[in-house]
A and B are shown apart, each in its own frame.
Chain A
Amino acid sequence: MKTKTPSKLEKIIRAGHLAVTSECGPPRGSDAEAITKKAEMIKDHVDAINVTDNQTSMTRLSSLASCIHLKLMGLEPTLQMVTRDRNRIALQSDILGAASFDIYNILCLSGDHQQFGDSPTGQNVFDLDSMQLVQTVKLMRDEGKFLGGDEIKRPPKMFIGAAANPFADPFEIRVPRLAKKVAAGAEFIQTQCIYNLEKFELWMKLVRDRGLHEKVAILAGVTPFKTAGMAKYMKNRVPGMDVPDEVVKRMADVPKEKQADEGINICVETIQRLKECEGVRGFHVMAIEWEEKVPEIVERSGLYPRPVLKTDN
């Protein structure tokens, strides 16, 4: 199938393989090794590596600079970009900056509210929302134009992604919201971490009922729990997260020293079950500050070795 960009992730998806992506959170300092070391741990087991953009509104080394470090290692980064911190000038400028390093994937997000981070007294921007950022990247790529209408010399070539949270409220709007993102130009979707499989499968059914699974590649998001405490925290404290009681109980019922293993088991079982879910085109493994476990999760889920592309353009 014809691809629109040189993105390896796009090629793997369009070739019909289940894609695997993961992510690295940049450090709260300027040591690039913090990101390159994480990337080294996972690079052979994933097709592309997301770099988060000041996630949870904590100030960190920039996503763009981190992506450049990955690119210089010969890896395939996915630039996460939130609209919280930059207006349309800065967003477009950073997109061009990423394109100048041939970064081929972008994930367009609105971003957590700044209240959650280290600068709750700061301004937020939200000049655009995530869907409008998707539209912006598409305009820049497909029409070679800035939002202001002027022509871009050497437009960006980016495979355009967005996020979806099947578990947030109101549920009835969650599939229409995906439809909007697809209409805006999203080509791949990375979902919120999935623990409530029944609800996710219901969402996927509604997605299929509208044929959206054929228009956008949905990568199911998974995050292994390290401890029962983490499961409880995510259930109770993280907005938009749906962790069923039985999952928390399963973690709590094993002895402390075995909880990490149980967390990996749950994660692998989730992937194995969702491999059978029609419309799921891959997995986004978010092992938060636990990147060393990504290879094991990918291998045990039967997603290793990763496909090797014959041609490269």
Chain B
Amino acid sequence: MIVAKQKPVEEIIEEAKEYDKILLAGCNECVTVCEAGGKKEVAVLASALRMYFMNQGKDLKIDEVTLERQCDHEYLEEIRNTIDQYDAVISLACGVGVQFMAEKYMQMPILPGVDTCFMGVTEERGVWTERCQGCGQCVLAKTGGICPVSRCAKRLFNGPCGGSTKGCCEINKDLLCGWQLIVDRLTELGRLEDYEKLAPIKDWSTERAGGPRKVIREDVRL
């Protein structure tokens, strides 16, 4: 999933204070799972904002909605008939949802309510960790199913570097060394000799370096 975390409420207040009628829009997908922008978080944020502005003596109207997804046309269309009642929308979707809504409703200010962090997993309740950076050319078959791009702080393809200590990364003792994990997996798989194959120089053009990306499937296009 795409993992996000809630923005500090002070930051949201700062962006929202000039508006009188605000729609708080949650998303029922990833940000619900990572407890940053689902129905529950929309309700909590709405209460916090109401309370804050009431104490400021400001009459603020806040409505709540949680869409099935904010990265698909059909769900974003659900607010077409009501969106004009508001001065602004605070979207608690990831950056994808915020932008797709902004593209669709050109005259409506759309404010982000979360900071979008990474693609990752729920490691345990309340702990989410990164697994993929979407480099566009998956190498997991060669690295024991552990990604050197997302799990190594230096994105080394022939690691581990000299800073790997007791299974941890040099930059943080709470961060596992991705290459230790790769070596452990290759050992479990009985394929440690794969480590000695030199990884070719990466083609980064399928990653961020190549500019905004696009996937087209002609066979499924309408």
Contacts and interface: CB of A to CB of B under 8 A. Distances in A.
A136 B202 CA distance: 13
A113 B154 contact: yes
A184 B198 contact: yes
Nearest to B204: A127
Given A110-B154, A126-B155, A147-B201, A169 B167 contact: yes
Interface stretch (B55-63, B79-87, B100-108, B158-166): B158-166
Nearest to B170: A239
Interface string B130-153: 000000000000000000000001
Interface residues of B, number: 31
Q: How large is the interface on A (under 10, 10 to 19, 20 to 34, 35 or more residues)?
A: 35 or more
Contacts of B166: 169
Nearest to B197: A180
B183 interface: yes
Contact of A131 (B160, B198, B204): B198
Given A112-B170, A126-B154, A239-B170, A169 B160 contact: yes
A289 interface: no
Contacts of B171: 113, 115-116
Interface in A65-119: 84, 88, 110-113, 115-116
Interface in B55-96: none
A131 B162 CA distance: 13
Interface stretch (A171-179, A253-261, A295-303): A171-179
Given A173-B183, A176-B196, A168 B157 contact: no
Contacts of A192: 162
B154 A168 contact: no
Contact of B162 (A88, A128, A170, A240): A240
Interface of B: 153-167, 170-171, 177, 179-180, 183-184, 187, 192, 195-196, 198-199, 201-202, 204
Interface of A: 84, 88, 110-113, 115-116, 124, 126-132, 135-136, 147, 163-165, 168-170, 172-173, 176-177, 179-180, 183-184, 192, 239-240
29 contacts: A88-B201, A111-B154, A112-B163, A113-B163, A113-B170, A113-B171, A115-B171, A116-B170, A128-B201, A129-B157, A130-B156, A132-B201, A135-B201, A168-B161, A168-B164, A170-B164, A170-B167, A172-B183, A173-B195, A176-B196, A177-B158, A179-B196, A180-B195, A180-B196, A180-B198, A184-B158, A239-B165, A240-B162, A240-B170
- The 7 A-B residue pairs with the shortest CB-CB distance, nearest first, are A165-B162, A239-B170, A239-B163, A131-B158, A240-B162, A129-B156, A168-B162
